Amino acid sequence: MTASDESEAHFDAIIIGAGVIGCAVAYGLAKKGYRTLNVDRLPAAGYGSTSSSAAVIRTYYSTRDGTAMALEGYHDWKNWRAYLGAEDESELARFIETGTLVMKTVADNHQKQVLEHADALGIAYEHWTAEQIRERLPGYNLECFAPAKTMEDDDFGMPTGGELQGGVFFPSGGYVDDPQVAARNLKDAAARLGAQFRFKTKVVRIPVENNRVTGVLCENGDFLRAGIVINVGGPHSGKVNALLEGEPGLKIGHRPLRQEVVQIAPPERLNYSREGLVVSDNDIAVYVKPGSGGQLMIGSQNPACDPHIEENPDDFSMDLTDRALTYAYRYSQRLPELGVSQHPVGVADLYDATDDWLPIYDRSDVDGYYLAIGTSGNQFKNAPVAGRLMSELIDYCESGNDHDDNPLQFRLEHVGHTLNTATFSRKRELTKESSFSVLG
């Protein structure tokens, strides 16, 4: 189909964004028979913030629904080829199952809430003593340093008394080796079912007639018709909402926040590799995962000393700053042998984060306009589930159901749990159970 033909075509749904969640939504709708078109201003699927994702797969969240959704997603990643319906030998992203270790800290009430969710959902875990942690991670120092600090603090690096007594190891977890390939896999799976994609295409207006969207107007003048438009714009999702000729009706806020991840070579005796542990440590407020070439990738868990920095997604620096050095030095409190370069390498990009760090998967106040936003930082692992959830939600609303007053109850395929999708409502109050961090 040529660009001019496409500009005159009518689609059932237009999805703005072709990151991992936008492509998952396309796949979910295509499986239901929708004729979809993804439009993205970038040149390829997963080319934006998806490509910068740490792509951690874990099964612990602060809320019951969040935990159940993550467990459901784990099953999809574990059986990625079957989920995609990929029968050929095409390149697929790989889920590398390392297990995840979460330190028991006073701030997290020694993981009491997380373990209650795990017990309720049948998630396997092991209690590791300090001795077991040191055996698995040679050279580890388990002194307490909380609260986390920046390097400018005179007390940075000074122990604050006591020692971590252990952690919780979740065998079902790890990371996806290439998040951009994962997005491309979803795009290809959707395309096999007839979904279409249009890249290097910028949307400039989302017209509305009689309180229903009618499609999208592109910068080149093409008007693409559809009675359903879905905002999956990642860090640009706020700018996409501003293009709507109407108010989406959000009560909870979201914004593009700067995030940096530093990459460092580990000490030799740590014996770290791409199969190394994923570690979450709230005492020093960092998470750690394997990177390419056996490197360590270290990011922040958003403590109070790391203030949020809101950025313009069309104009921000992708160079690392002293924030990245701070994360590395925090982790060196655990690994004193860690060599921290003053010229670190790593990734600087944006999260689209809500006020409580839980996503918005919802309809809007404008008929036919749907939201899959506020997802950055902790929803990569849930992308396959989000694709199914959004397709069910759209079916539910387009069939005349009042989702605001009677929210969709979404039954998970692999987990004995039904999500009350009001959890992800645009009109919700702040979720008190949330970690209010990248952990969700």
Rg over CA atoms, the chain: 22
How far from each other are the two terminal CA atoms of the chain, in whole angstroms? Answer: 42
Phi, psi (degrees; rounded to nearest 5) at 107: -60, -30
pLDDT for residue 101 is more than 50: yes
pLDDT tens-digit series, residues 301-328: 999 999 999 999 999 999 999 999 999 9
Report DSSP letters for 245-300, one per residue: SS-----S-EEEEEEEEEEEPPPGGG---TTPPEEEETTTTEEEEE-GGG-EEEEE
CB 117 within 8 A of CB 255: no
pLDDT of residue 3: 41
Instruction: Round to whole Å and give the CA distance between 380 and 259.
Output: 15
User: Which residues make Cβ contacts (< 8 Å) with residue 155, sequence separation at least 6?
Assistant: 149
Question: What average pLDDT does the segment 89-109 reach?
Answer: 93
- Pairing mode, if any, of strands 212-213 and 345-354? unpaired
- The least confident of 338-347, 357-366, 391-400 is 338-347
pLDDT of residue 261: 96
- Local confidence band at 4 (pLDDT 50, 70, 90 cut-offs): very low
- The alpha-helical segments, DSSP class H, found in 356-431 are 383-398
Sign of the alpha-carbon dihedral angle for 87, 89, 92, 96: positive
pLDDT for residue 89 is more than 90: no
What are 159's two structure tokens?
């122990």
- Local confidence band at 339 (pLDDT 50, 70, 90 cut-offs): confident
- Local confidence band at 87 (pLDDT 50, 70, 90 cut-offs): confident
pLDDT for residue 344 is more than 70: yes
Instruction: Round to whole Å and give the CA distance between 2 and 238.
Output: 30
pLDDT for residue 340 is more than 90: no
What are 142's two structure tokens?
């388990």
pLDDT for residue 354 is more than 80: yes
pLDDT tens-digit series, residues 19-67: 999 999 999 999 999 999 999 999 999 999 999 999 999 999 999 999 9
- Local confidence band at 405 (pLDDT 50, 70, 90 cut-offs): very high
pLDDT of residue 274: 74
**Residue-range domains of the chain with CATH:** 3-72+178-253+357-424 (3.50.50.60), 96-174+254-352 (3.30.9.10)
What pTM value is reported for the model? 0.96
Question: CA of 209: how far to CAs of 44, 231, 362, 401, 412, in Å?
Answer: 31, 18, 20, 21, 35
Question: CA of 304: how far to CAs of 149, 257, 436, in Å?
Answer: 9, 15, 10
pLDDT of residue 8: 58
- Local confidence band at 342 (pLDDT 50, 70, 90 cut-offs): confident
pLDDT of residue 163: 97
pLDDT tens-digit series, residues 205-262: 999 999 999 999 999 999 999 999 999 999 999 999 999 999 999 999 999 999 999 9
Tell me the β-bridge partners of 349: 259
pLDDT tens-digit series, residues 162-217: 999 999 999 999 999 999 999 999 999 999 999 999 999 999 999 999 999 999 99
CB 141 within 8 A of CB 333: yes
Please, what is the average pLDDT of the chain? 94
Q: Which amino acid is at 300?
A: S
Angle between helices 64-78 and 112-121 (to 10 degrees): 60
pLDDT for residue 377 is more than 60: yes
pLDDT tens-digit series, residues 118-159: 999 999 999 999 999 999 999 999 999 999 999 999 999 999
- The least confident of 3-17, 21-35, 95-109, 178-192 is 3-17
Q: Quick one: which of 151, 145, 102 has its CA closest to 126?
A: 102
